Amino acid sequence: MPGIEYLLEALTPLNIMLALGGVIAGTVIGSLPGLTATMAVAVLVPITFTMAPASALILMGAIYTGAIYGGAYAAILLNTPGTPSAIATTFDGFPMARRGDGDLAVTLACLASVSGGLVGSIFLLMLAPPLADVALAFGPVEYFWLAVFGLTLISALSENNLLKGLIGACFGLLLSCVGVAEISADIRFTFGSQTLLGGIETVSALIGLYCIPVLIDLVATPDKHLKVTHQARGFRFLEALAISWKYKLGLLRSSVIGTLVGILPGAGGSIAGLVAYSEARRVSKRSEHFGKGEPEGVLATESANNATVGGGFIPTLVLGIPGTPPDAVILGALLIQGLRTGPNLFTGEGSIVYTFIYGLFLATLLMLPVGLVIGRYAYKTIITVPKAMLVPTVAFMTLIGTYSIRNNISDVIVMITLGVVGWVLNRFGFSPSPIVLGLILGSIAEQGFVQAWTIGAAGEDLTGMFFGRPISLAIIAFILLSLFYPLIRKHWLGSKMGKVRAD
Amino acid sequence: MKLKQLVAIALATIMPLSSAFAEFPEKSVSYVIPFGPGGESDITARHQQSFFKDKFGQDLVISYKPGGGGAVGWSQLNGIKGDGHTIMGINLPHIVIKPLQKDVGFKTDEITGVYMFHYTPDALVVNQDSPFQSLQDVIDYAKENPGKLTLSGSGKGTANHLAQIRFDGMAGIKTTYVAFKGTGKAVAALLGDQVKAEWGYTSVGAKHEGKVRLLAVAMEERHPKFPAVPTFKELGFDLVSGAYRGIAVPKSTPEDVRVKLSQMIGEINADPAFRQRMENDGMALLDVDYAGMDAFMEKMTAIYTQAAREAGVIK
C-alpha cells in the first residue's frame, strides 16, 4: 500500500473527531432536500483556513461522503432525491418504503454507500495518477456520446411506456435549454422573464418534480404516507448484510462503475447511479422486479454514487481539475492553503495526500455506525410524525432548500411550477425521471456536440470526430446494446425456448 | 495589538470624521459572489476575507448567487439595502458584454463599482510537449493552416474569447475558438490534446506548472511569477486583457460609505502578504479606486464593445 506510513497520521484524535463530526454533519445536511454537498463544503471553507491542510481535507471529504449518503434518506422515505446522485435510489427505495421496508432500504443504502466509498478510496489510493489520464482521454465527443448513452437508459427505465418516456425526455431536453446557454452565451426560452434567466437549476427541478407530487398526494388521499407493518425491528442489519453479501459482485460492479464515471469531470453522481442501476437490472435474474422495490436496485445506485467521491478526487488531486462540484470547492480551499495539485502532490506532499486518503477511508468506515443510527432515526421520524405535521414540515424544507441552492427566489418559483406540472403529468402516466434525465443530460450532450463539431469542422474531419475515436466507438456500442437489448433478449430467450421445445 | 488600538484611538480623536465614516463597518459585511463556489471569483474573495477581518475587525461573509453567468446576481444588486454591509463581486468583461447582448435585467451603468482590485491576465497556453515553442510558431502555423488551429477557452463573449478575436485581428490569422464551460474544462481539453492550444489565464500556468507552458501573457509588464514569458506587447501586439474583478455596491449606498469601502479594499490590496498570495496564484493586482472607476469603465467598455462586435457576439 502506498503511503502506509501516513496511516497513523490520519488516526490522530483530532482527525478522527473531524471525520466523525464531518460524516454526521454531512449525513444530516444531505438528507435535507436542497441542501447539497457543495453547499456544506463551501460553508466550511473559512473554518479550514486555520487547520493543517490534511485535517482540512479530511473534514471536507467526510462531509462530502456523508452528504452523498444522506441524500438516500429523502429518496427512500420521501421519493425525493436530495441530490441528483440519488435519482435512481427512488426507483426501488421508495416502493420498498411504501410496502413497509423503509428501514431495510435505509440500512441497505448505508451498507452500499460504505462499500462504494471504500472501493472509490482504494482506486484513489492505488491508481490515481494513471486513472487521471482516463479523464483526459475523454474529449467533447466522448461526453456527447456518454450523454446520449444516458438518454438511451430512458428506454430501459420506461419499458411499458416508451413513448411517454421519450416525450418526458424531450420536455426535459427543452427545459435544459432555458436561460443563458453555458457555452454560446445565447439567451433562450426566457420569454423576457428575469425568473428564467438563470435557467432551470437541476436540484430545484428534482425537488419540484419528485417531492411536490408526493406532498399533493399526501394531502389528497387519506392513506398513511408509508405503510407500517410492525414496530421496532431494530436496524434489520443482519438481513441487509445477507442481501448485500448475496449481491457482492453486483456491489463491486456498481462501485467500479461509480468510480470510473466519477473520474470524468462533468459526468458526476447522477450518471453513475443511473448507469449502475441499469447495468444491475440488465444483469439481474430478477430484472422484472426492478422499479417495484428490489433491494438490488438500491444497492446498485447507492454504491455507485458514493464511489464517485473517491473517483472525483482523482482528477482533482492529480490534474487540478475538479471531478465534481464539491471537488471544485475543495480544490479552491487547497489553493488558498497554498497547495499545488498535480502528480507532485503525491510525491512531494505525500504526507498531506496520503493522510487525507486514509482519512477518507476512516470517514467512510465511520459512516456505517453513524449512517445506521441517523437512518433509523430518520425512518422513525417519518413514520411516526402525523401527516398533518409531516406535510407542512417537508413543504417548508423544500422551500428553504430550493432557495438556498443559489440564494434565489426564482428557483423557488420554478420548483413549485414544475411540481404542479409534474403532478399533472404523473396523472397521465408520465414519470419524472425521463424529464430530469433530459434536463441533466441535455446540457452535457449539447456542449459536447457543439465542441466536437467545432473541432471536427476545423480539422475538416467530422465523421472521424464523431465515429472514429476508439472510446467513442465503445460508447456507441453500449448505446446500441442498451437500445436493442430488450429485442436481443427476447430473440435469445425465444430461440432457447424453441430449442427446449425441439428437444 | 495594543499598538493597533492606540493608533486607532489616536486616529479617532484627531480625525474629524462624519458619523457614517466612523461607524462603518459596524457589523459583518456580506460579500455576494454572483458565481458558484470554487471558481476564481470565489478564490480571490477568499484571499481578501482573512485580510478584511484582520484590518477592520469585522467578518467578511462570502455567499453565492450564481446563475446566468453572473446576470442573476447583478440584476438583483440594486434591490439590496445600500448601507455598505452588502457588497457584490463584479467581473469584466461580463458586466459590459451581457447587457449588450440582450435584456439581462441590468445595464452596465446601473452597476456602482467602488474598486477593481485585480485581473487575471489572458495568456496563450500550450502543453509542455507542444511543438509550439514561441508565439511566432503559433502565428506561422495558423497562417499556413487557416482555421485549423483549435484553441479552447472558457465561454463565449468572455475574456478568453475576446482575446482570441483581438489577437487574430492583430496577427492577421484565423483560428478556431472552442468554448468550454469554465476554465477547468478548457484546461482539461488542452491537457488531453483535444485542442492544440488554449486561450487561458496566467493562473492556468501557476496551477498546472510543469504540464503547460505560457507562450505570451497579456500584461503591461512580465508577470513576476513567469519572468521568462514575454508579454504580447514586447512581441509587437498591443494586447493587455484578462478577467477583471472588482467590487460593487447597491445604488442606494451613500457616497461616504462608497469612498470608505474603496479605501478599505485598496488597503487590502496594498498589503504585501496579500499581493504575494495573489501573485503566487498567477493573478495580477490592479488598483482602480472609486474615483477612477468611471474612466476605467469607459475605456474597457469601448475595447470590449468593439471586440464583441467583431466576434459577432453582439450586434
User: For A364-401, what is each residue's pLDDT tens digit?
Assistant: 999 999 999 999 999 888 888 888 888 998 899 889 98
Per-residue pLDDT for B126 more than 90?
Answer: yes
Burial of A16 (0-12, 13-18, 19+ CB in 10 A): middle
Distance CA A111, CA A119 (A): 12
Query: B143-159 burial by CB neighbour count: b if 16+ within 10 A, else e?
Result: eeeeeebbbbbbbbbbb
Q: Which of A141, A263, A407, A414 to mutate to test the interface with B (most CBs of B within 10 A)?
A: A407
Distance CA A27, CA A74 (A): 11
In this complex, do A197 and B36 lie within 8 Å of one another by their Cβ atoms? no
Per-residue pLDDT for A502 more than 70?
Answer: no
State the complex-level ipTM: 0.86
The helix (H) or strand (E) run that includes residue B90 is strand B86-92
Chain B residues touching residue A406 (CB < 8 angstroms): 64-67, 72
Read off φ and ψ for residue A91, nearest 5 degrees.
-55, -45
In this complex, do B176 and A457 lie within 8 Å of one another by their Cβ atoms? yes
Residue among A185, A335, A458 minimizing CB distance to B157: A185
Burial of A354 (0-12, 13-18, 19+ CB in 10 A): buried
User: B192 at the A interface (CB within 8 A)?
Assistant: yes
- Domain chopping of chain A, boundaries: 4-385+392-502
Q: Looking at residue B155, what DSSP letter applies?
A: S
Chain B residues touching residue A38 (CB < 8 angstroms): 36-37
Q: Looking at residue B201, what DSSP letter applies?
A: E
| Residue B32 confidence (pLDDT) | 96
User: B105 at the A interface (CB within 8 A)?
Assistant: yes
> Rounded to whole angstroms, what are the CA distances from B125 to A331, B172, B190, B214?
21, 19, 9, 5
Q: What share of chain A is helix, strand, coil (3-state, %, to 5)?
A: 80, 0, 20
Q: What is the pLDDT of residues A293-337, one digit of tens each?
A: 999 999 999 999 999 999 999 999 988 888 888 898 898 888 887
Residue by residue, DSSP assigns A410-456 as HHHHHHHHHHHHHHHHHHTT--HHHHHHHHHHHHHHHHHHHHHHHHH
Residue among B32, B64, B191 minimizing CB distance to A136: B191
The SS3 assignment for A216 reads helix
User: B54 at the A interface (CB within 8 A)?
Assistant: no
In this complex, do A454 and B178 lie within 8 Å of one another by their Cβ atoms? yes
| Residue A125 confidence (pLDDT) | 93
User: B63 at the A interface (CB within 8 A)?
Assistant: yes
Q: What is the pLDDT of residues A87-107, one digit of tens each?
A: 899 999 999 998 889 999 999
- Cell 468583461 sits on residue: B93
Residue by residue, DSSP assigns B19-53 as HHHHHSSSS-EEEEESS-TTSHHHHHHHHHHHHHH
Of the listed ranges A172-181, A314-323, B9-18, the one predicted with least confidence: B9-18
Q: What is the pLDDT of residues A272-284, one digit of tens each?
A: 998 899 889 888 8
Per-residue pLDDT for A229 more than 70?
Answer: no
Distance CA A227, CA A236 (A): 17
In this complex, do A408 and B42 lie within 8 Å of one another by their Cβ atoms? no
Residue among A198, A321, A341 minimizing CB distance to B68: A198
In DSSP terms, B31 is beta-bridged to B62, B87
Distance CA B224, CA A10 (A): 37
| Residue B1 confidence (pLDDT) | 47
Extract the C-alpha cell encoding B124. 496563450
Residue A375 in contact with residue A23, Cβ under 8 Å? no
User: B185 at the A interface (CB within 8 A)?
Assistant: yes
Q: What is the pLDDT of residues B189-217, one digit of tens each?
A: 999 999 999 999 999 999 898 899 999 99
CA distance A149 to chain B (A): 21
In this complex, do A139 and B38 lie within 8 Å of one another by their Cβ atoms? no
| Residue A10 confidence (pLDDT) | 87
Catalogue all structural domains in chain B, each as residue range(s) with its CATH number. Answer: 2-119+243-311 (3.40.190.150), 121-217 (3.40.190.10)
In this complex, do B46 and A46 lie within 8 Å of one another by their Cβ atoms? yes
Q: Are strands B242-249 and B112-127 parallel, antiparallel or unpaired?
A: antiparallel
Q: Return residues 207-236 of B near A (CB < 8 Å).
A: 207-211
In this complex, do B208 and A140 lie within 8 Å of one another by their Cβ atoms? no
Note the pTM of the prediction, 2 decimals. 0.88
Extract the C-alpha cell encoding A179. 436561460
Distance CA B26, CA A134 (A): 52
Per-residue pLDDT for A501 more than 70?
Answer: no
In this complex, do B43 and A332 lie within 8 Å of one another by their Cβ atoms? yes
Read off φ and ψ for residue A177, nearest 5 degrees.
-85, -15
Chain B residues touching residue A413 (CB < 8 angstroms): none
The SS3 assignment for B88 reads strand
In this complex, do B65 and A458 lie within 8 Å of one another by their Cβ atoms? no
pLDDT classification of A500: cutoffs 50, 70, 90: low
Contacts of A72 (CB under 8 A, 6+ apart): A82, A86, A89, A93, A106, A109, A110, A113, A298, A302
Extract the C-alpha cell encoding B15. 480625525
Extract the C-alpha cell encoding B9. 484611538
Chain A residues touching residue B184 (CB < 8 angstroms): 265, 321-322, 328
Residue A240 in contact with residue A111, Cβ under 8 Å? yes
Alpha helices, H only, chain B: 2-14, 19-23, 40-56, 71-76, 94-101, 135-144, 159-171, 183-191, 202-207, 255-270, 272-280, 293-311
Chain B residues touching residue A349 (CB < 8 angstroms): none
Task: Give me chain B's average pLDDT, please.
Answer: 91
Burial of A186 (0-12, 13-18, 19+ CB in 10 A): middle
